[in-house]
Amino acid sequence: MEVLAEKEAEEFLEKKGFPVAKRIFVSNYEECLNAARKIGFPVALKIVSKKILHKSDVHGVKLDIKNKEELKNGFNELKKIKNFEGVLVQEYLDGKFIITGLKKDPTFGHVIAFGLGGIFTEIIKDVSFRVCPITKKDAIEMIKEIKAYKILEGARGEKKINFYSLLRVLLALSELSKKYDNIEELDINPLIVNERNAKIVDARIVFS
């Protein structure tokens, strides 16, 4: 069993052509500042540790950091967390939080999931499933099945998401399942989708 945590999982997915948010791994504040300047404010900071499964549970995520002062405070707070190994400096993205991924079922093989993502995913449980491989028609049906579909369409004056970018990710996951039969689990949470594009912000992969 091999587990790829966020940093390694995102590198793997990026090499396979998936859209991943810009990010730089750093181990000290000097590197953190240089990374933020390279990416451009605002940024997000995320703790990196093989021993931390859910970063939000340990307050290991700092979002929408707009300047040097906020960056320093955020980095110092993350550094105090137990099992700290470093920080991922990431471009900060606005948009809808989506959860998607693969799970290997003993009967059906790879199953793809899609739903509203973020920290409340396990509470809301607004998710649709299909057995891989899927077609474009299957992907569209999955998206329309969830209760939150109207939010993605742009409810209450908000902008409609880029459905084309979202479909590309779902179909790419289906293709990945054909090439990597040894993927036991692949979790993307969140995939942030806005009116322009879709980008992976956090991922985890388990290989058998």
Domain boundaries, the chain: 22-91, 96-207
Domain 96-207 bears CATH identifier 3.30.43.10: no
Q: Judge if pTM exceeds 0.75.
A: yes
Q: What CATH architecture does domain 22-91 belong to?
A: 2-Layer Sandwich (3.30)
Q: Could you tell me the pLDDT band of residue 123, with boundaries at 50, 70 and 90? A: low
Q: Is the pLDDT of residue 139 over 90?
A: yes
Between the alpha carbon of residue 112 and those of residues 102, 152, 159, the distances in Å are 5, 19, 26
Helix (H, G, I), strand (E, B) or coil at 155: helix
What's the pLDDT tens digit per position in 165-194? 999 999 999 999 999 999 999 999 999 999
How far is Cα 47 from Cα 89, in angstroms, rounded to an integer?
9
Between the alpha carbon of residue 104 and those of residues 8, 71, 168, the distances in Å are 20, 40, 21
